[in-house]
Amino acid sequence: MKVLAPISSYDELEMLAASGAEEFYCGVVPREWLDRYTGAVWLNRRSPKGGSLETFSELKRLVEGSHRLGIPVFLTLNAPYYTAEQMSWVMELARALDGEAGIDALIVTDINLLMQLSKAKLNAALHVSSVAATLNTEAIRFLLQFGPSRIILPRSLTIPEIERIVNATRDEVEIEVFMLNDGCAFEEGFCATTHHHTVGAFCTSLSEMDTEFERSGGRELTRRQNSRLRRNLTDYREWIWYVNGNGCGATANGLPYGPCGLCAIHDFQRIGVASLKIVGREASPFKKLASVRMVRAIVDQVRSGPDKLVVIERAKSLRGDRKHCDSGYMCYYKVEA
């Protein structure tokens, strides 16, 4: 079970590796893409500014440095789809990423791109992005025809659902799961909205809108019914606040808040999950560093073999403020202790 960390610059490499990262993923958005499609159309699932490297030479330096440390680098080409015009360009980029930059794996959502890459027989492995919304074993069986070595499961699967999938596909493909930082209120692969900075994420934007309930079936809502629905909406908005990294907050010690699966690491080790993903290519170097340290600390503890409850207690103590853990809204996974 590996610790997979986001990286967006060569300067972050040494500190993240020293802190326990065992795999890296990143994005690159060459200038030509931005010039042609502007910020409205993203090459991968992060805004062109801030979350991705901007030049091929910068990427190449990062990959070479990482390989010197024995750490593989995966690269996201995980836009939900590419048009015919974009596909030619993306395939050319993929060949360069594979041949010149030496990327170890490409992370892909669009099944058309997955198919093309599979036919191209690159050296780089293929990982299916969480944006592909692979929620069941049958879907993995379908995708296996394209030879992916890893499937990244969406955040919305429960531990028993993940276990069923891993048990059914154990010998055929690696499974990666989300571990830390950004949540997603929706099923990422079925959310047709943009996070463009002019409007922000749809889920958080909704929390600031005026709302009105309507009862179905032609009758008016009673005051009591309306009040109950309002209370539930208030709770939901609080949950969204947690999904959004506790309002993008941090502990008194500067550690990152936000959705977390640390308590589930013991289960993931038992189940046979291959990799734990830390989210946040666009995050500050400090947030990446703190995130990697937290995940690695728990992974090391699990590897040394203590009881599950001991691991959970340690995980909660690392998160800093116990009330957030106790809210139940900061967890990716509900863990049966």
Partner 1 sequence: MDWSIHVSNAAEVRSGLSALEPASFDSGSKLAPVVQLTQRLIYELFGPIAFSRCAYGNEFCEHLIPSPDQLEAVVTAARDREIGLTLLTPYVTDAGIDLLRPLFEVLSANGESEVVFNDWGVLNLLRREFSGLKPVQGRLMNKSLRDPRVTGVYAASDAPAPALVSLRRSNLDCASYTGFLSGLGVESVEVDNLPQGVDLSFAENGVKASAYVPFGFISTSRICMAAGIHYDKRDKFQPGAPCHHECQTHLLEYAYTNTPFENRDQKFYLKGNSYFYVHTEAMLRGLFEQARAGLIDRIVFQPQLPMTWERA
- Determine the Cα–Cα distance for residues 29 and 89; give it in Å rounded to an integer: 12
| Rama region for 156: left / alpha / beta (φ>0; ψ in -120 to 50; rest) | alpha
Stretch that binds partner 1, among 10-18, 43-51, 83-91, 258-266 (CB under 8 A): 83-91
Could you say which residues in the range 31-70 bind partner 1, by CB under 8 A? 36-38, 40-41
Stretch (H or E) spanning 268: helix 265-271
| Rama region for 174: left / alpha / beta (φ>0; ψ in -120 to 50; rest) | beta
Q: Binding of partner 1 at residue 214 (CB under 8 A)?
A: yes
- Determine the Cα–Cα distance for residues 111 and 115; give it in Å rounded to an integer: 6
- Determine the Cα–Cα distance for residues 128 and 150; give it in Å rounded to an integer: 6
Best CA proximity match to 333, nearest among 275, 287, 266: 266
Closer to partner 1 by Cβ: residue 187 or 282 = 187
Give me the least distance between CB of 257 and partner 1, in Å please: 17
Q: Do residues 174 and 149 touch, judged by C-beta distance below 8 A?
A: yes
Q: Which of 57, 158, 222, 317 binds partner 1 (CB under 8 A)?
A: 158
Site string for partner 1, 125-144 (x = CB under 8 A): --------xxxxxxxxxxx-
Give me the least distance between CB of 203 and partner 1, in Å please: 8
Q: Do residues 20 and 11 touch, judged by C-beta distance below 8 A?
A: no
Q: Binding of partner 1 at residue 307 (CB under 8 A)?
A: no
- Determine the Cα–Cα distance for residues 272 and 280; give it in Å rounded to an integer: 24
Closer to partner 1 by Cβ: residue 16 or 133 = 133
- Determine the Cα–Cα distance for residues 266 and 1; give it in Å rounded to an integer: 11
Compute how many other C-beta atoms are within 10 angstroms of the C-beta atom of residue 8.
Answer: 24
Q: Which of 229, 250, 255, 297 binds partner 1 (CB under 8 A)?
A: 229
Q: How far is the first Cα of the chain from the last one, in angstroms, to the nearest whole number? A: 21
Q: Binding of partner 1 at residue 305 (CB under 8 A)?
A: no
Could you say which residues in the range 89-118 bind partner 1, by CB under 8 A? 110-112, 115-116
Q: Which of 85, 92, 100, 172 binds partner 1 (CB under 8 A)?
A: 85
Stretch that binds partner 1, among 19-27, 52-60, 100-108, 227-235 (CB under 8 A): 227-235
Q: Binding of partner 1 at residue 337 (CB under 8 A)?
A: no
Count of residues touching partner 1 (by CB under 8 A): 77
Q: Binding of partner 1 at residue 221 (CB under 8 A)?
A: yes
Could you say which residues in the range 7-36 bind partner 1, by CB under 8 A? 36
Q: Binding of partner 1 at residue 233 (CB under 8 A)?
A: yes
Give me the least distance between CB of 231 and partner 1, in Å please: 9
Crossing angle of helices 111-120 and 84-99, in 10° steps, is 40
Q: Binding of partner 1 at residue 222 (CB under 8 A)?
A: no
By three-state DSSP, how is residue 74 classified?
Answer: strand
- Determine the Cα–Cα distance for residues 297 and 316; give it in Å rounded to an integer: 12
Q: Do residues 56 and 33 touch, judged by C-beta distance below 8 A?
A: no
Could you say which residues in the range 242-281 bind partner 1, by CB under 8 A? none
Give me the least distance between CB of 332 and partner 1, in Å please: 9
Best CA proximity match to 266, nearest among 298, 221, 236, 227: 298
Stretch that binds partner 1, among 24-32, 232-240, 274-282, 295-303 (CB under 8 A): 232-240
Q: Which of 171, 192, 323, 337 binds partner 1 (CB under 8 A)?
A: 192
Give me the least distance between CB of 238 and partner 1, in Å please: 9
Closer to partner 1 by Cβ: residue 12 or 188 = 188
Contact residues for 95 (Cβ-Cβ < 8 A; gap 6+) = 120, 122
Q: Binding of partner 1 at residue 190 (CB under 8 A)?
A: yes
